[in-house]
Every structure is written in structure tokens, then in C-alpha cells.
Amino acid sequence: MVRSWRLNRGSRRDPAQDRQIAPRTHWLLLAVLVVVLAVSLLVQGYTQHLYNTAADGAERAQGPSGQVPSAVSGGGPVISAAGRPRTAQVKPGTIALTFDDGPDPVWTPKILEVLRRHHVHATFFVVGTQIAAHPQILRQIVTDGHEVGVHTFTHADLGLVPPWRQSLELNETQLVVAGATGQTTSLMRPPYSSSNNALTNDEWAALRNAAGRGYLTVLTTLDSQDWRRPGVDHIVANATPKGSGGSRGHTLLMHDAGGDRAQSVAALERLLPRLTRQGFTFATVGDAVGLANPMRPASATSAGLGLALIAALRFVDWLMTAITWLLYASGALSVVRAIAVVVAARRHRRLRTRPWGPPVTDPASVIVPAYNESAGIEATVRSLVASDHPIEIIVVDDGSSDGTADVVAALGLPGVRIIRQDNAGKPAALNAGLAASSHPLVVMLDGDTVFEPDAVRILLQPFSDPAVGAVSGNTKVANRGGLLGRWQHIEYVVGFNLDRRLFDLAECMPTVPGAIGGFRREALDRVGGVSDLTLAEDTDLTMALCRDGWRVVYEERARAWTEAPASLGALWRQRYRWCYGTLQAMWKHRGALVQTGSSGKLGRRGLGYLLLFQVLLPLLAPVIDVFAAYGLIFLDPLRIVGLWLGFLLLQVVMGLYAFRLDGERPAALWSLPLQQFVYRQLMYLVVIQSVWTALAGSRLRWQRMERYGSLHVPDTAA
């Protein structure tokens, strides 16, 4: 492996000028975005999933009421609970018509139209979340001359929630009222309240808390029970005063939201003229009890905060809708991808039972670029010497400082040539080896890779097809002990290899890995050799070959063993370089998107696949994790866990099939669930870092992986 190379053509720069710029701003930005998303989800969960949808008049268990003053339980429906409790009665012969739970985009306008035709004014007790969703309807209510009262923000039962939430429910509703209408109100009706004599101790405590904030509580004396939807006749009968109460004043409860209110609208159309004929007059609550100005102009601060709150809530609703669709799309794409790679793998396996053509027996040149590879270079070279195919071995020492070339020279193995050069980078080392090679077929591998004895021979067989320009082999993780090793082993077998089978069939292979790849010398010459313009020279080269019209295939039976990073830090550095280099190669070859032939296949199939599944979906991964936490808190935890287990099962099934194809024991798959909590997060953070680095235009230098000397020559090659 090599340490560094230039990303742009031209004269060499001072290494101090090429130091990696570490853009920290993106992590702050990511943290802010995650916090904003988390807060948005909390708001959404509070406003939507803590919303109590039970009807106001639904029967509830009656709690103790000994602390409710008799002056309140036997008094009028309008209550001042501050200091010494007082109540007010509705004027005789007056109906204070009230509507709860709105505004509703369907039923509130219909009710307003009925009231307008009959020249009746009413009081609407509104819910904060409904106001935020439909502020224009609340403005119309006020414009028509009706009164507005607070009915909490999420239709919460104030007697069952702590004081802090009682205050929050009232304050937030008052803010959105101010934002929507420019006015405030002193009227409040608790959800699930009814008449004075039904007050409990807990509800009385909530009323006193509200009174401390300047609210008057409005209860009911007459319930239409329209929430039951018993039929228009029953609603009209329930709303008509009876007996000795016929001459008294009443606060009549109806609803303009909370479900289908067609019966309420029809009943109101009949009720207004009927009660008018009986001598009743209709008024707002304020007029019915003689209140002075229950609604007043809001301060500029309150109105501004209310508008901001409405805008924030509407943004959250839009954001949640967008995220929901994105999650549906990502889930569907994941399932489609799983099906596609499995189907492709089955077909690919059947195709590989057929011979490529006449056996390829011509000798090949094997090029090993090496920079400070003394820990593993001996195992690499010995494994190549043990190959069952005639080869020449060219080790290009790219300015090593640890005696790598000396180690190779000391072996004294036949057929091994050493080229020493000043450090110029891996592409330069490969090109130097290519220039010194003698054969039309070339194999390239890293200096930390061990080949199986038949790897070269199997890797070269596809070249019996003259259309094949490059062949990808099967890279295996050698140091697969420990969780990190197992996770990388799973990724190589399930991720990389299944994808390569799909790419092979789709004729859009984007990468022949540097660890094991075969090339036709003619193809390399036509694309100008190995380019040094990206950090992923293997991906860049493969894309260039595809665009030049060569077919690139995958031969899974040609196996090579490589050392994987043994620490999270080393893994980060390796994957950061891979991902960033892949982005560079994708950008370099973006012209393939609009081309035809094999170049177009690479562009629209290969680049599209990489963009979707290796860039965009990983960028969405933090959203998925935060949304999963949201679901556990506010949605059905069993459903969320079930979905997670379903996707995990899908990965396990894919893993079992991929391991079977590769002839691997599936024991490592027990660590797959744990992989979701550490490894997956690391991988999407790598993508985020790489995308940001690319967008910021920062220069990334080569980050050499630490060598552990864990590789050895396979037993069959010893």
C-alpha cells in the first residue's frame, strides 16, 4: 500500500501545502440537524400522538369532589376560581351557544354558514393543534363576530396531567390564537368537563391553576350530545331546554370538530329557528353573562410568537410527511435491492458453472505495489510463487523506509523481480510495474494480500472471451476474529460480493478491487494506465475500462486473503479514503450518465446504484435512527421492534445465502444484530464525512492502514 499521491496533475506541491483540511463545521451542522429533527419529532409526538381523541361527553369515572366549593358546584356555568370563587349565570331566556374541538376544515365553515344565515353569534372553544393546522378558519370565526375560548392545545384532560403541562396546554393555545387572530381570550373550557356539579377535586385544582393565569372557566348546563351522533331529532331534543329550566339561561354544548359533524350541522339548522320561536335569544358567552371584553388585542410580541409557533408546527407537519415518505421509499428500495441481489446471485451462480471458453494457459505478469509492507510482504510473495499458473512477479517498492524490498530480495525466490523507486504513489508504482511487465495479461494485488494457489489461474480464465477487459476476484478477510473482524467479514461476503454478482450481470461493474484484479494489457494501454486523479485508483480504472467498451466480470472462485483494519480508527481511515475516492471517481465519470453503449450502462446502472445505495440512503440513516427512537416513545413500540426485526431477518436471509455461495460457515452471522448498533453508524458517518469533504473541496491525503502481520501462506501453498 502507498502513503500519498497527488489528486491533480501538475507540479509537485510542498507536502505542508497538502495537509488534510479537517472541516469540523459539518459535524456541528449534523448535530444541529439531528437536534432539530429530534425536537421536531418530540413536537410531532406531543401534538399528534398525545392528542386525546375521546369525546368530551364520554362517560368517565367520577373522582372525589369534596374540595370543590359549594358556591361553585351549585353556581353558574362561568367560574372565576381566583381568590374567592365566584360564578355567573346566563341571562334568563338566553342561550350561550358554544362549539368545542375545532376549528375543522370541513365542518366549522358549514356551521359558520348556518350561524350567518340566522344572524347568530356563538363561542368557539378551540384546540391549539387544530388552530395551527387551520389558522385561516379561526380568523374567519373572529371576523364573523364570534368569540373564541381556549380548549387546550392537545385536548388534554387537565385534571389528569401535572400542573406544568396544564400551563403548557393553555399558554401554547393562547399563543396560536394570538398568532392567528391578533387577539387573546380570557375564556377557557377544559376538555371532558360538563356541569358544575360534576367537578372533581383534580379538575378544581386545574381550574384554580388556570385562574392564576387570568382565565375564566366556562362549563355547560345543556348538552346536545351530538358527539354520540344519535340522529338529528335526538340532538335537537337534547338541545332544547325542558321543564322548569325552560325560562332560565343556558350554555349549550355542541361540536364543530372531532369527527363527522353532519348531524350537528343539520340539527343546528333546525334548532336555531325552533328556539327563536320559543322566545330564546342567542348570544356569545361574554354577552350572555355580561362580561366586559373577554377578547382583547394581543401584544405584538404574543402575536409574533404565535405566528412563529404556527409556522413551526406546520413545518414540523410537512417535515414529518416528507420523512415518512422517505422512510417508505428507503424501506421499499431496501427490499427491492435484497430481492434483486439474491435473484442476480442465483443466476450468476448458474452461469459460472459454464466454462468461459478454451482454457487460458498463457503466462501472466503479477504486479505488487508496496510501501512499508515488510510485515506481510513475505507471505504475499510466497503465496504468488506457489501459484499453479505460470507468472512473473514484479514487486515495485515505492520508496519504503522499512526495508520492504530487502525482505523480498532476501527470500531469493525464483521469478521475482524488484523495482525500487522514490515514493510517487500507488498509481505510479502500478504503472512502473506495468511498463516492466512482459505478458499481455496482468494481475494486480496489494502488498498485504495472500493469493490461494489457484487464484491466478482462475482469475485469468474469463480472458478467453476477447470482450473481457478486467476481472474482479473474491477478497476474503483473513483476521476475522473479534466483533470488528466478523462485521467486516460479513460486509465483504454479503455486501461486496453480492453486489459484484449483480454488477456483473448488469454489465456495470464499478470496481475491480486492488486486492485481486486481472487486466488485459491492451485495455490498460487504451485508457492510459492507472490514473492518479482520485484516491480510489481501482474504481477510477474500472470505470474507465467500462466506458472504453470493455466488459468487466466477477470470478468469485479466484480468492485472495487480506488484512482488515483491527480498530475503529483504522477502519474509519480506510473507509473514509474508499468512500471519498469513490465519490471522486463517480464525479470524474459522470458523463457516462448521458452516453450510450457500455458507458451508458455504467452511468445509469452502476453510478445510479452507487449514488442511491452507497451515498443517499446512508445519508438518510441518521433520520431512520432518530425516527425509530421516536416510534418507540410515541408510536407502538411492538410495531417498531417488529419492523426492525423484519429488516434484520431480511439481512440474515441474505447473509445465509451469500455465505452459502461463498462456501463460508454462517457462524459469524450471530453478530449481525450487534452490527446495526455500531458498524452501521460508523459507515454512514464515513459517508457524511466524505460527502462534506467533497462538497467543501478539501484535499484528502492517503491514509495508510496499519499492518499486523497476521497473513500467512495458505496450507495448500506451503
Kindly report, residue by residue over 446-490, the tens digit of the pLDDT.
Answer: 998 999 999 999 999 999 999 999 999 999 999 988 899 999 999
Mean pLDDT calculated for residue range 316-342: 89
pLDDT in tens, 573-595: 999 999 999 999 999 999 999 99
Average pLDDT over residues 487-502: 93
Q: Which helix (H) or strand (E) holds 392?
A: strand 391-398
Cell numbers linked to 2: 502507498
pLDDT the model gives residue 54: 62
List the one residue out of 541, 476, 467 whose CA is nearest residue 511.
541
Distance (Å, whole) CA 290 – CA 598? 84
pLDDT tens digit sequence for 344-353: 999 999 988 8
pLDDT of residue 14: 41
Cell numbers for 338? 435484497
d(CA 444, CA 430): 8
pLDDT tens for each residue of 652-705: 999 999 999 999 999 999 999 999 888 988 898 899 888 888 887 665 554 555
Condensed to tens digits (0 to 9), the pLDDT of residues 124-135 reads 999 999 999 999
Mean pLDDT of the chain: 89
How many residues are listed for the chain in this entry?
718
In the chain, % of residues over pLDDT 90: 72
CA distance 620 to 333: 13
Of 9, 28, 7, nearest to 18 by C-alpha is: 7
Mean pLDDT, rounded, for 376-401: 95
- Return the percent helix, strand and coil in the chain, to nearest 5: 55, 15, 35
Q: What is the dihedral of CA 120, 122, 128, 132, to 10 degrees?
A: 10
Tell me the mean pLDDT in the region 527-534. Answer: 94
Q: In the prediction, which pLDDT does 56 show?
A: 65
Of 142, 212, 224, 221, residue with least CA distance to 179: 142
For residues 443 and 48, which has the higher predicted lDDT (pLDDT)?
A: 443
For residues 303, 305, 310 and 312, what is the CA-based torsion angle, rounded to 10 degrees?
160
Please report the pLDDT score of residue 422 as a whole number.
95
Residue type, 615: V
How does pLDDT run across 151-198, given as a tens digit for each residue? 999 999 999 999 999 999 999 999 999 999 999 999 999 999 999 999
- With CA atoms as reference, report the closest residue to 2 among 569, 705, 711: 705
pLDDT tens profile 399-436: 999 999 999 999 999 999 999 999 999 999 999 999 99
H/E stretch holding 695: helix 679-696
pLDDT band for position 710 (cuts 50, 70, 90): low
By C-alpha distance, which of 565, 349, 579 is closest to 477? 565
pLDDT of 26 = 59
Residues 135-154: tens digit of each pLDDT: 999 999 999 999 999 999 99
Cα(633)–Cα(163) distance, rounded to whole angstroms?
22
pLDDT at 714 over 60: no
Comparison of pLDDT for 708 and 650, the residue scoring more: 650
55 pLDDT more than 70 = no
Amino acid type, 164: W
In the structure grid, which three cell numbers stand for residue 511, read together?
470496481
- 460 and 441 Cβ atoms separated by less than 8 Å: yes
pLDDT tens digits, residue range 266-309?
999 999 999 999 999 999 999 999 998 899 999 999 999 999 99
Radius of gyration of the chain (CA): 37
Question: Does residue 326 sit in helix, strand or coil?
Answer: helix
Residues of the chain with CATH 3.20.20.370: 75-298
pLDDT at 43 over 80: no
Answer yes or no: is pLDDT of 75 > 80. yes
Among the four given CATH numbers 3.30.360.10, 3.40.50.2300, 2.40.110.10, 3.20.20.370, the one describing domain 75-298: 3.20.20.370
Q: Are strands 86-88 and 78-80 parallel, antiparallel or unpaired?
A: antiparallel
Report the alpha-carbon distance of residue 329 to residue 337 in Å, rounded.
12
How far, in Å, CA of 369 to CA of 399, rounded? 11
Q: What is the pLDDT of residue 625?
A: 84
| pLDDT over threshold 80, residue 57 | no
Residues belonging to the active site = 100, 255
Q: What are the start-end ranges of the E strands in 545-699?
A: 551-562
Structure-model confidence comparison of residues 717 and 607, the more confident one:
607
Whether 341 contacts 498, CB under 8 Å:
yes
Q: How far apart are CA 150 and CA 134, in angstroms?
A: 15
Which superfamily, per CATH, for 15-25+357-717? Spore Coat Polysaccharide Biosynthesis Protein SpsA; Chain A (3.90.550.10)
Residue with cell 400551563: 167
Under the banding of pLDDT at 50, 70 and 90, the label for residue 6 is very low
- Round to whole Å and give the CA distance between 47 and 41: 10
- If one compares 61 and 570, the residue with the highest pLDDT of the two is 570
Q: Which residue has the cell 348570544?
A: 283
Q: Is the dihedral of CA 198, 202, 208, 214 positive or negative?
A: negative
Tell me the percentage of the chain whose pLDDT exceeds 70: 90
> Residue 717 above 80 pLDDT?
no
pLDDT tier at 60, thresholds 50, 70, 90 = low
